[in-house]
Amino acid sequence: MSTTVTPERDGEPQLARVMGPKLLLLFVVGDILGASIYSLTGKVAGLVGGALWLPFLIAFALAFLTAFSYLELVGKYPRAAGAALYTHRAFGVHLLTFLVAFAVMCSGITSAASAAEAFSGDYLQEFVSAPESLVAFGFLALIAVINFRGVGVSVKLNVLLTAVELTGLLVVIAVGFLAVVQGAGEPARLLEVNSEAGVFFGVTSATALAFFSLVGFEDSVNMVEETRDPVRIFPRAILTGIVICAAIYLLVAVASSLLVPVHVLAGSTAPLLEVVRAGAPWFPLLAFAAIALFSVVNSALINMMMASRLLYGMAREGLIPAAFGTVHRTRRTPWAAILFTSLLGIGLVAALDISALGGTTSLLLLIVFAVVNVAVLVLRREPADHEHFRAPTAVPVLGALSCAFFASPLTGRDPAEYVVVAVLLGTGLVFWGLNQLALRRGRSG
């Protein structure tokens, strides 16, 4: 595979363009097919009941709408920083831009930290008992080393790990198919919505959580400066990746609901292991647990790649001190951003119960997506000097309204999620103030 390095800018080395259409598609699929489907399926079932497929279907439609807005913007502005860049260009409010970027970065880091805790939890316990915190810390440190080694190493490893995690989900689907053919399972359960909050709140709250499993496509826009001909290949790669993942998730949800009672799924931190156990007791469970562990590694790696590239892009745009945009001269990776995001991830694992932050991560991203959908409409007044993908106007309008709705208390969200978001964004405000002070000192120095 050939590697292209963009010319140096301001004397600094640039990122290497190593990703073509196939690697980008695998990156999108690998990012979406992350640890969440292996760990959150049971929690979604606990909210909605046997109709487990319904929240995933609605979440797919929601993600698809927002993906169109991202495709228009990444084609128009093919640079790293993603939602932060689009917000800055659309509204020009530095504080809003920083908060959007901080929210996206937090979502990536908390996702990776959640994956670290998932790695140290029940799936690993199938093999060995070990101190979960120490395992989680070591896990994030290893991810940082892989990230630092270079995007070429990272995306190649992503290809392998994506194949592994896809294999695990195909095993679940095959187990469900064989069970149905043999007359096992309870099809009637697929139409049951059992929620203490009622049908509406059961479906909407489950959708808000299931949405966390279908995000990931937005991470790829932060890899745009490491992609060859991004304006041309991004639309097909992202849309194809979302459709593939949605189909897999729906089939996994159907198999899970058919074979395992809702209360068993909801009470397990390894719900897909329960599906395999129920539908194919002859299948080696240790092998499936190993597959799940590799899938968790892939999820964490891609999320930390996104978070570090986002921080790098913000620095390059002059939104935060330039030190965060420092690129290692031999590895061609943003080492300062990798170090900072990795330390923050370790701190979150030490301070918080990350396993409870799936809904909070979803909430952060829904808020960001609502802003991005509005931004694409605002930026229509700013013409581009090249052809690019353009979404139908109704799509970002529907995307903004739907994201705002699912981020609101009208869905029956746990109020604690809003508290966590307030704490995170409050921390961001403090960080923004410190950054502004550093920037002023830099300009006056």
pLDDT at residue 158, rounded to an integer: 65
pLDDT at residue 5, rounded to an integer: 40
Q: How far apart are CA 408 and CA 301, in angstroms?
A: 30
Q: How far apart are CA 152 and CA 132, in angstroms?
A: 30
361-413 residue pLDDT tens: 889 999 999 999 999 999 988 877 777 788 899 999 999 999 999 999 988 88
Q: Are 191 and 43 in contact (CB under 8 A)?
A: no
Helix (H) or strand (E) holding 216: none
pLDDT at residue 4, rounded to an integer: 41
Superfamily designation of domain 17-437: Amino acid/polyamine transporter I (1.20.1740.10)
pLDDT at residue 294, rounded to an integer: 84
- Computed from CA positions of residues 390, 391, 392, 393, in that sequence, does the dihedral angle turn out positive or negative? negative
If you ran DSSP here, which 8-state letter would residue 197 be given? T
Write the CA distances from 79 to 18, 32, 178, 180, integer angstroms.
Answer: 15, 21, 46, 48
- Tokens at 315, concatenated: 């620095």
What are the start-end ranges of the H helices in 280-316? 285-316
With tokens 């279907």, the residue in question is 57
Average pLDDT by stretches of 10, the chain with 445 residues: 43 58 78 78 88 93 90 80 82 87 84 82 78 87 84 65 86 91 86 80 88 78 70 83 92 94 86 90 90 83 82 74 78 86 86 70 91 93 78 93 93 84 82 74 66
Cβ neighbourhood burial of 398 (10 Å; 0-12, 13-18, 19+): middle
> What residue ranges do the domains of the chain occupy?
17-437
Q: What is the pTM of this model?
A: 0.81
Q: How far apart are CA 181 and CA 177, in angstroms?
A: 6
